[in-house]
Structures are given as C-alpha cells and as structure tokens.
Amino acid sequence: MRLSDSELLIMREIWQLGHPVSAGELVTAFSPTRGWKIQTVSTFLSRLVEKGMLSCQKVSGQNRFSPKVSEETYRAQETQEFLRTVHGGSVKNLVAALYDSHGLGPEEIAELKQWLKER
C-alpha cells in the first residue's frame, strides 16, 4: 500500500512515539517544521485510517490513533512492491542498478557479502 511522503512522515512519528496519539500531538510535532494545522493533520489521519494503516478510538471524547501495521511490515511490503514493479522481481537487477549507479561502494559490497554469508 503506497503512502504519500506526508502520510509516511506521520506514520513514522506515530511508530516512533509508540502510543496512541491525537491529532493535536501531531500538530505540535509538525507545526514548527511543516506548518501543518489541525485540518491538514486530520485529513492525513483520515486517509491513513481509510488505507488500513491506523485505527481510531475515542478516549475521553478525543480521537486517538494507533498503528494497525508495524513499520517493519510496511517496509517489507513496500520493498517487495518496489522490487516487483521497478526491477521485475529480480534482486540481481536491483543490486546491479545500485552498483552501476555507484550506489554501492566497497564497504557496502563487503557488508552485503558478509550479511549473505551469515544467512
């Protein structure tokens, strides 16, 4: 499930906080850097609920949002989708593209070899 950059920012904040959050808490977190107001944050939260990423519960008359999908699960799904759509499902094509574009240096290659050896 593809999230917009802004939706992903909100999800990362919620994952990092590790507890159900209100729209107001997110406004406090994002207002200084993004200038988001309550309406903007509420719109993103509604979209994330519709996409099945968040659940919403009323606590003391206030909506509190909790993740329904872990960060690890989301990352794995997005990685698989990227691999499928951009590289035809081929890990070799992904690594080759990184190597050919100088995205993998000697340290990264050594680290990848070590990681594969340990598996």
- pLDDT of 4 strictly over 90: yes
Mean pLDDT of the region 83-107 = 90
- pLDDT of 99 strictly over 90: no
**What pTM did the predictor assign?**
0.82
**CATH 2.40.400.10 is right for the domain spanning 5-67:** no
Residue spans of the domains in the chain: they are: 5-67, 71-118
pLDDT for 79 equals 94
Q: How far apart are CA 53 and CA 68, in angstroms?
A: 5
Mean pLDDT of the region 107-117 = 91
Q: What is the dihedral of CA 5, 45, 37, 32, to 10 degrees?
A: -50
pLDDT digits 0-9 by tens, 11-65: 999 999 999 999 999 999 999 999 999 999 999 999 999 999 999 999 899 999 9
Q: How far apart are CA 94 and CA 117, in angstroms?
A: 19
